[in-house]
Amino acid sequence: MFRWLSLFFLFSPLLFAANLPPRPEQSYVYDESHNLTSQEVQTFNAIAVELFKKTGFALGAALLYDIGEEDARDFAVQVAHSWGLGQKESSEAALIFVAFKQGRRSVEVGYGAEGYLPDALVERLQQKTLVPAFRKKEYGTGVLTLAYAIATTVAKEKGVTLDLTAPTPPEKKNNPLMWPFIFVIFIIVMSLLKMNGGGRGGRGPGSFVGPSAAGFLIGSLSRGGFGGGFGGGGGGGFGGGFGGFGGGGFGGGGSGGSW
């Protein structure tokens, strides 16, 4: 019995590691949740690349759907360790972590950055950026504004200026070119309704076109899409510039909770 218990404790870290998300290739973002668009991922990478280039600080994000019964903070620290986020010599790094099914979020801070990213400050940054955005289901906005807030805080500490544009949420706007089409659809729908109302009372072939269906159709057409995404995304690839995975250390610095 003792031998079996010894084997369990020996191999349990390996079993735990098997559930950890792999380190992303050519990116600082692992988005299992698929809540970020490709443009938003590109913008995050632009922030992280610029930050690492100017300061040596590594910023990553692990956006997971489900972590089961695991403690979110412990799991996030394990992810940061398994990725080797940060330089081994300095351990200046941070991981933005989200488990959507559990409704948990955190920022884990490497040993070397705990002095200028204390727990209270990290929590304030999340409360000002990620938390209010997530409550509105604006997940890309939350992650990017938090990443930018962390980056500018680190840059100020290091006395450098980052060549970045503050991310702004996409504006909801109507497309004026849609209104002529809406008018034509409205005329067609009204004509069908008139035809269905005449003659004998039965349910004719076109009688499924009711007021509710008409309203749904017109409403769907009148809703405009979202505009251009986030500024500061940068263009193209990063030419292998994804540094910062050198084996930094994490020991529980940071802050987390729900939203």
Q: Judge if 157 and 191 occupy the same domain.
A: no
Contact 133, 127 (CB under 8 A): no
Q: Judge if 157 and 183 occupy the same domain.
A: no
CATH code of residue 97: 3.10.310.50
Contact 114, 250 (CB under 8 A): no
| Domain membership flag for residue 183 | yes
SS3 category, 1 = coil
What is the pLDDT at residue 226? 37
What is the pLDDT at residue 200? 45
| Domain membership flag for residue 74 | yes
Domain residue limits at 192: 178-222
Q: Judge if 195 and 143 occupy the same domain.
A: no
| Domain membership flag for residue 115 | yes
What is the pLDDT at residue 209? 46
| Domain membership flag for residue 3 | no
- The span from the CA of 156 to the CA of 249, in Å, is 23
Q: Judge if 194 and 93 occupy the same domain.
A: no
Q: Judge if 35 and 136 occupy the same domain.
A: yes
Report which of 138, 126, 92, 87 is spatially closest to residue 111, judged by C-alpha positions.
Answer: 92
Q: Judge if 215 and 182 occupy the same domain.
A: yes
pTM: predicted TM-score of the whole model, two decimal places: 0.70
| Domain membership flag for residue 162 | yes
| Domain membership flag for residue 258 | no
What is the pLDDT at residue 25? 86
What is the pLDDT at residue 146? 98
| Domain membership flag for residue 4 | no
- Total number of residues shown for the chain: 259
What is the pLDDT at residue 79? 96
What is the pLDDT at residue 191? 74
Q: 60: which strand partners?
A: 95
Is the Cα dihedral 229, 233, 235, 236 positive or negative? negative
Radius of gyration of the chain from its Cα atoms, rounded to whole angstroms: 25
**Per-residue confidence in pLDDT tens, the chain, 259 aa:** 545 544 444 444 444 454 899 998 899 999 999 999 999 999 999 999 999 999 999 999 999 999 999 999 999 999 999 999 988 888 999 999 999 999 999 999 999 999 999 999 999 999 999 999 999 999 999 999 999 999 999 999 999 999 999 887 666 555 555 566 666 776 776 776 676 655 444 444 444 445 554 554 455 444 444 333 444 333 333 334 566 676 768 988 999 999 9
Count how many domains the chain has. Answer: 2
Q: Judge if 152 and 186 occupy the same domain.
A: no
| Last-in-domain residue among 169, 196, 211 | 169
Q: Judge if 147 and 187 occupy the same domain.
A: no
Q: Judge if 62 and 80 occupy the same domain.
A: yes
| Domain membership flag for residue 29 | yes
Q: Judge if 116 and 71 occupy the same domain.
A: yes
| Last-in-domain residue among 148, 169, 190 | 169
What is the pLDDT at residue 89? 82
Alpha helices in 159-247 (DSSP H): 178-197, 211-222
Query: Edge-to-edge strand order for the sheet containing 29-31?
Result: 29-31, 58-64, 93-99, 104-110, 250-258
Q: Judge if 145 and 57 occupy the same domain.
A: yes
